[in-house]
């Protein structure tokens, strides 16, 4: 890559780089989906090629699987792995309790299954993803295609009794066609602006017929690693209430940046 990385990309890279140090040979690791998770896959691929790291990766999407194979990671399915040592994934929002909104990339169903089948979940993010209250990012809800208008209407009706500021329920599109997940389902994005009670909302959404899963991750994340544009990385472990900050020196001619550009 020629020229200097934008601060947002540096933030994503250093968070991913720090998270990659948690992966050890012999592990089975869930690999998330999204722009920050792609940096992680690149970092791990470099460790496989240059340091001899040997681990099994379980991708949360077809897109991640393709990239992981490309960079030399040994990819297996969750059925083959059965249980994972660790999952590392990005997020669209997280709060002080490490409750997440995920699904901007359309993979939150697989991401939640993989994360809950792991001993630990590490979330990597840039600093913009930290919020005081969830909800500015639309909450994705994966639904089956059959009876979509009914499901959409039931969700809207349910929201009238929830502690939220917005109640728009919008089908996600890809161009002029409905967005389709890897499981062949549709996504409804809930524009809520503020979510006062994520746990209650998650329970209520998942009771609606036609809903497969929503993008609220509650009591799933154990560690969050936040990257900053100046190379700082802050790590917080909620399980033992510890945290630390380190500084990375980011070199713009690093080979990993060339890989990302390709």
- Catalytically active residues are 111
231: left (phi over 0), alpha (psi -120 to 50) or beta: left
Distant-in-sequence contacts of 250-257, Cβ < 8 A, 24+ apart: 250/5, 250/10, 250/13, 250/14, 252/1, 252/3, 252/4, 252/5, 255/46, 256/13, 256/42, 256/43, 256/46, 257/1, 257/5, 257/13
Pair of tokens at residue 159? 């929201």
Which of the 8 DSSP states describes residue 130? Answer: B
Among the listed residues 114, 29, 105, 36, the one whose alpha carbon sits nearest the alpha carbon of residue 73: 29
Q: State the Cα–Cα distance between residues 208 and 201, nearest whole angstrom.
A: 11
Pair of tokens at residue 174? 């890809």
Would you say 90 is a known binding-site residue? Answer: yes
Phi, psi of 186 (to 5 degrees): -105, 165
Would you say 184 is a known binding-site residue? Answer: no
Residue 90: Cβ within 10 Å count? 28
Would you say 130 is a known binding-site residue? Answer: no
Would you say 103 is a known binding-site residue? Answer: yes
Would you say 35 is a known binding-site residue? Answer: yes
Helix (H, G, I), strand (E, B) or coil at 1: coil
Would you say 61 is a known binding-site residue? Answer: no
Q: State the Cα–Cα distance between residues 85 and 83, nearest whole angstrom.
A: 7
Would you say 129 is a known binding-site residue? Answer: yes
Residue 262: Cβ within 10 Å count? 7
Q: State the Cα–Cα distance between residues 8 and 227, nearest whole angstrom.
A: 9
Structural element, H or E, at residue 160: none
Would you say 227 is a known binding-site residue? Answer: no
Annotated binding site for substrate: 33-36, 89-92, 102-105, 129
Annotated binding site: 33-36, 89-92, 102-105, 129
């Amino acid at each position: 890559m020629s020229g200097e990385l934008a601060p947002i990309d540096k933030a994503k890279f250093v968070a991913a780089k720090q998270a990659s140090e948690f992966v050890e040979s012999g592990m089975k690791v869930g690999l998330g989906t999204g722009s920050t998770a792609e940096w992680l896959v690149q970092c791990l691929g470099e460790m496989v090629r240059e340091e001899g790291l040997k681990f099994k990766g379980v991708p949360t999407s077809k897109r991640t699987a393709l990239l992981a194979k490309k960079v030399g990671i040994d990819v297996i399915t969750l059925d083959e792995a059965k249980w994972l040592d660790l999952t590392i994934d990005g997020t669209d929002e997280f709060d002080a309790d490490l409750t997440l909104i995920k699904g901007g990339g359309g993979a939150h169903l697989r991401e939640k299954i993989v994360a809950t089948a792991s001993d630990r979940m590490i979330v990597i993010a840039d600093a913009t993803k930290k919020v005081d209250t969830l909800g500015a990012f639309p909450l994705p809800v994966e639904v089956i295609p059959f009876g979509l208008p009914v499901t959409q209407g039931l969700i809207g009706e349910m929201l009238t009794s929830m502690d939220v500021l917005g109640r728009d329920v919008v089908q996600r599109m890809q161009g002029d066609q409905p967005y389709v997940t890897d499981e062949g389902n549709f996504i409804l994005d809930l524009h809520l602006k503020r979510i006062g009670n994520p746990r209650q909302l998650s329970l209520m959404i998942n009771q609606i017929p036609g809903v497969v899963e929503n993008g609220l991750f509650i009591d799933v994340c154990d560690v969050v690693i936040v990257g900053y544009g100046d190379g700082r990385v802050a790590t917080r472990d909620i399980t033992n209430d510890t945290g630390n900050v380190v500084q990375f020196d980011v070199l713009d001619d690093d080979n990993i940046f060339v890989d990302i550009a390709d």
